[in-house]
């Protein structure tokens, strides 16, 4: 399965924003969702991949914890509740992984902003599994963690806490995992 170009660019921007500079191949391999080799294969070279993002934006100063928490509070106020990680990814200024990287977890970021997290323990397993099946039907294929983050109603962390690994959640839902090379 080929990783969508937009997902590669989004992850490159996220890491650049988090680091405060364009990432090196080593930083991408250690901290990114996809390997630098994936970028080399898709864009022709690491330099070409970097050219795909706005280097001015990625060279800006590192975002402060206070700015991250203010944005989290803004989105929570807009929604009238604690935002889910995938809502931050789609509607927030910063990617949810930046929060997890900086604060240790999405839940700890919410706590740092004084926002009461809606506990994932309240979501029945049947609801989580039904969401996996819904997303698989909508996509016409096995959903990836990226698909769930962008289009799903629950965070990847919820599935991992509940089922262990993503593939275990897929198995429990009766959705066959797909393997692909990054």
Helix, strand or coil, per DSSP, at residue 104: coil
Instruction: Note the pLDDT tens digit of each residue in 115-165.
Output: 887 655 567 888 889 989 999 999 899 999 888 877 887 778 788 888 888
Are the beta carbons of 48 and 76 closer than 8 angstroms? no
Rounded distance between C-alpha atoms, residue 74 and residue 66, angstroms:
12
Long-range contacts for 33-36 (Cβ within 8 Å, ≥24 apart)?
A: 33/97, 33/146, 34/3, 34/7, 34/8, 34/182, 35/182
Mean pLDDT, to the nearest integer, of 22-31?
A: 84
Percent of all residues in the chain with a pLDDT value above 70, rounded to a whole number = 88
- pTM of the entire structure? 0.42
């Amino acid at each position: 399965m080929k990783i969508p170009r937009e997902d590669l660019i989004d992850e490159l921007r996220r890491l650049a924003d988090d680091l405060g500079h364009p990432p090196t191949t080593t930083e991408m391999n250690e901290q990114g969702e996809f390997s630098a080799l994936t970028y080399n294969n898709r864009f022709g070279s690491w330099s070409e991949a970097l050219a795909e993002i706005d280097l001015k934006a990625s060279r800006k100063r590192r975002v402060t914890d206070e700015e991250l928490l203010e944005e989290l509070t803004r989105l929570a106020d807009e929604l009238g509740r604690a935002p889910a990680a995938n809502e931050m990814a789609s509607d927030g200024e910063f990617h949810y992984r930046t929060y997890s990287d900086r604060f240790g977890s999405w839940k700890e970021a919410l706590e740092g902003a004084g926002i009461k997290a809606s506990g994932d323990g309240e979501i029945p397993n049947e609801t989580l599994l039904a969401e996996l099946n819904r997303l698989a039907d909508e996509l016409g294929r096995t959903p990836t963690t990226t698909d769930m983050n962008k289009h799903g109603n629950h965070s990847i962390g919820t599935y991992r806490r509940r089922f262990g690994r993503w593939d275990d959640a897929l198995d429990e839902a009766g959705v066959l995992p797909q393997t692909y090379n990054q």
